[in-house]
């Protein structure tokens, strides 16, 4: 509590909350299209009928709807490519404001698509919004980590995931037929993301730019000092933070290109860590459940959509738990606990799925296992996979690292959304064994190779990797979580 009292100021909190409004938008458009899917498909079909005086063929309608849903993730993959240019050219805060216009334009196109009777406008809107997703989910943790004090860095970065999960739940609720998921109001439902988008334009311009960006990237020490003083509220500790930034700047190259990023010797181990943590997190089953939980529950429950709301609520609840535990338990411990629980849940779900037709009462156990898996994911692998890249790299490589991590995240989501339905048709519940294997791999890799970053400055973490071919991570005092 003393740490919070020392470092938590109103402006710091405002800066973090203003930034995560972007993640709230991303989550909202992730969760709001599942429930009204048939209604929006009906709009596609009616538009086609009005144009050509015939109904759209079923296979074409299915393909068009799949394109509409998946094009957001494809746009996100493309958006990741612009993170370095924006973040290093315009700054972290300004870049968030710039990309926010993609959200506004994208949501506006989705809204007007019904009025102008154009499903092309809805698809284009989701593509533009996807570009926003890929950019903002990298820029947000980048900005948050660089404005936060070391003692709160991980907890505040976790708020990005809290906002994302909260947006998913809000989207699920708004998409219900009893809310806005109706034939008359579905396009109004898609417009609600404009509220946090416009709120971001109201609050974020008054928040300071990242002091670390100002000092290390731009060489503007006076501006960095002023921004840091505004964020911390008092001169105590500001000098020490500035000295730590100068130390990092002294060791860092002025700039690192994409090719140089993958060639630089001191980046090799962090790249491997980011790759393994992100892929094992994304391919451990969470995204399959988020995308297809309603379908999973429909076999045994009439009101499956309300159980899906339960999934969304548990998702939010445990991101909040992760927020409070992140600076107490540390990254490594939460990753290890999360991965091992996910592995056990996937194993048990395989068993339950194989016998649930013979013993329908086990359907309730299946729901419980789904809730447990969601909880374990959000306890560690979920939030940490989004921000660990920002902690493992120095300032010149940090923006590329965040873009790389974001591409792995969105690529994993896209791959799982694409492969899970055919996997279920081919091997059924044994699909969960594949997810279990990924979770076990994530646990083993974390145990042997992932260092603890809790309570350590960026320069201290970078020192572990600097100029080393084989890194003696096991010799670091903070590496073994359990000692």
Write down the pLDDT at residue 304.
67
For the stretch 240-255, pLDDT in tens is 889 888 888 887 766 7
Q: Check residue 25 and give its pLDDT.
A: 97
* Res. 473 pLDDT band, cuts 50 70 90: very low
Given a cut of 80, whether residue 387 has pLDDT beyond it is: yes
Is 50 exceeded by the pLDDT of residue 4?
no
What average pLDDT does this structure show over 263-282? Answer: 92
> Residue 472: which pLDDT band, with cuts at 50, 70 and 90?
very low
pLDDT in tens, 304-349: 677 778 888 999 999 999 999 999 999 999 999 999 999 999 999 9
User: What mean pLDDT comes out for the span 61-74?
Assistant: 84
Residue 480: its pLDDT value, please? Answer: 45
* This prediction's pTM: 0.88
Tens digits of per-residue pLDDT, 75-88? Answer: 999 999 999 999 99
Q: Please give the domain boundaries of the chain with CATH numbers for all domains.
A: 1-207 (1.20.1250.20), 256-483 (1.20.1250.20)
**Three-class SS string for the chain?**
CHHHHHHCCHHHHHHHHHHHHHHHHHHHHHHCCCCCHHHHHHHHHHHHHHHHCCCCCHHHHHHHHHHHHHHHHHHHHHHHHHHHHHHHHHCHHHHHHHHHHHHHHHHHHHHHHHHCCCHHHHHHHHHHHHHHHHHHHHHHHHHHHHHCCHHHHHHHHHHHHHHHHHHHHHHHHHCCCCCCCCCCCHHHHHHHHHHHHHHHHHHHHHCCCCHHHHHHHCCCHHHHHHHHHHHHCCCCCHHHHHHHHHHHHHHCCCCCCHHHHHHCHHHHHHHHHHHHHHHHHHCCCHHHHHHHHHHHHHCCCCCHHHHHHHHHHHHHHHHHHHHHHHHHHCHHHHHHHHHHHHHHHHHHHHHHHHHCCCCHHHHHHHHHHHHHHHHHHHHCHHHHHHHHHHHHCCHHHHHHHHHHHHHHHHHHHHHHHHHHHHHHHHHHHHHHHHHHHHHHHHHHHHHHHCCCCCCCCHHHHHHHHCCCCCCCHHHCCCCCCCC
pLDDT tens digit string along 214-246?
999 898 999 999 999 999 988 877 888 898 888
């Amino acid at each position: 509590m003393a740490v919070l009292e020392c470092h938590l100021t109103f402006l710091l909190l405002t800066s973090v909350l203003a930034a995560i409004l972007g993640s709230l938008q991303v989550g909202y458009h992730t969760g709001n299209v599942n429930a009204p899917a048939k209604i929006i498909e009906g709009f596609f079909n009616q538009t086609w009928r009005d144009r050509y005086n015939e109904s759209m063929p079923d296979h074409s309608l299915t393909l068009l709807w799949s394109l509409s849903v998946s094009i957001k993730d494809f746009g996100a993959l493309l958006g990741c490519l612009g993170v370095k240019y924006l973040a290093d050219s315009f700054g972290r805060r300004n870049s968030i404001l710039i990309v926010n216009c993609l959200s506004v334009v994208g949501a506006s196109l989705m809204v007007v698509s019904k009025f102008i009777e154009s499903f092309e406008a809805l698809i284009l809107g989701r593509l533009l919004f996807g570009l926003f997703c890929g950019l903002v989910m990298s820029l947000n943790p980048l900005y948050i980590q660089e404005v936060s004090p070391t003692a709160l860095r991980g907890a505040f970065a976790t708020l990005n995931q809290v906002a994302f999960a909260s947006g998913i739940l809000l989207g699920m609720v708004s998409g219900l037929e009893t809310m806005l998921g109706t034939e008359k109001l579905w396009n109004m439902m898609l417009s609600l993301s404009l509220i946090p988008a416009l709120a971001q334009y109201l609050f974020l311009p008054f928040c300071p730019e990242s002091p670390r960006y100002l000092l290390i990237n731009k060489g503007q020490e006076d501006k960095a000092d002023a921004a840091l003083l505004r964020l911390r509220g008092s001169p105590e500790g500001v000098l020490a933070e500035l000295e730590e930034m100068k130390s990092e700047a002294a060791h860092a190259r002025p700039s690192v290109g994409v090719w140089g990023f993958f060639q630089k010797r001191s980046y090799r181990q962090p790249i491997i860590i980011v790759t393994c943590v992100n892929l094992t997190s994304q391919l451990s089953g969470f995204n399959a459940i988020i995308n297809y939980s309603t379908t999973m529950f429909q076999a045994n429950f009439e009101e499956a959509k309300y159980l899906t709301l339960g999934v969304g609520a548990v998702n939010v609840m445990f991101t909040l738990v992760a927020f409070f535990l992140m600076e107490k338990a540390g990254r490594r411990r939460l990753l290890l606990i999360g991965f091992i629980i996910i592995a056990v849940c996937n194993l048990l779900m395989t068993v339950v799925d194989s016998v649930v037709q013979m013993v329908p009462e086990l359907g309730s156990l299946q729901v419980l296992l789904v809730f447990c898996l969601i909880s374990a994911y959000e306890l560690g692998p979920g939030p940490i996979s989004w921000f660990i890249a920002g902690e493992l790299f120095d300032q010149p490589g940090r923006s590329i690292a965040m873009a790389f991590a974001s591409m792995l995240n969105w690529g994993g989501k896209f791959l799982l959304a694409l492969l899970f339905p055919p996997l279920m048709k081919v091997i059924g519940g044994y699909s969960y064994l594949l997810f279990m294997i990924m979770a076990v791999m994530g646990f083993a890799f974390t145990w042997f190779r992932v260092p603890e970053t809790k309570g350590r400055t960026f320069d201290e973490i970078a020192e572990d990797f600097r100029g080393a071919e084989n890194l003696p991570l096991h010799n670091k005092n903070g590496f073994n979580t359990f000692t």
